[in-house]
Amino acid sequence: MPVGFLNRGNKATKAGFGEGLLEAGRANEKVVALGADITASVGVDLFATAFPRRFISLGIAEQNCAGVAAGLALSGKIPVFTTYAVFSALRTTDQVRISVCYNNLHVIIGGAHAGVSVGPDGATHQALEDIAVMRVMPNMTVLSPCDASQTRLAVKAAIGKCNGPVYLRFGREAMPDFTTGETGFEIGKAQLLKQGSDLTVIATGHMVWEALLAAEELEKQGIHARVLNIHTIKPLDVEMVVLAAMETGALVTAEEHQVAGGLGSAVAEAAARHCPVPIEFVGMNDSFGESGKPWELMEKFGMTASHITESCRLVLGRKR
Q: Helix, strand, coil: what percent of the chain each, to 5?
A: 45, 20, 35
Which of 7, 8, 54, 123 binds other proteins (CB under 8 A)? It is 54
According to the binding rule CB under 8 A, does residue 90 interact with other proteins? Answer: no
Which of positions 294-313 make contact with other proteins (CB under 8 A)?
A: none
According to the binding rule CB under 8 A, does residue 58 interact with other proteins? Answer: yes
The smaller minimum CB distance to other proteins, of residues 14 and 77, is found at 77
Catalytic sites, residue numbers: 62
According to the binding rule CB under 8 A, does residue 39 interact with other proteins? Answer: no
Query: Which segment (42-50, 73-81, 124-132, 271-279) binds other proteins by CB under 8 A?
Result: 73-81
According to the binding rule CB under 8 A, does residue 94 interact with other proteins? Answer: yes
Which of 15, 21, 42, 77 binds other proteins (CB under 8 A)? It is 77
As measured in angstroms, the least distance from the Cβ of 162 to other proteins is 18
Residues listed for the chain: 320
According to the binding rule CB under 8 A, does residue 13 interact with other proteins? Answer: no
Query: Which segment (60-68, 82-90, 276-284, 290-298) binds other proteins by CB under 8 A?
Result: 60-68
No. of helices (H) and no. of strands (E), the chain: 12, 14
Which of 8, 41, 51, 98 binds other proteins (CB under 8 A)? It is 98
According to the binding rule CB under 8 A, does residue 136 interact with other proteins? Answer: no
Which of 44, 46, 69, 118 binds other proteins (CB under 8 A)? It is 69
According to the binding rule CB under 8 A, does residue 37 interact with other proteins? Answer: no
Binding site for other proteins (CB under 8 A): 32, 53-54, 56, 58-59, 61, 63-77, 79, 94-95, 97-99, 102-104
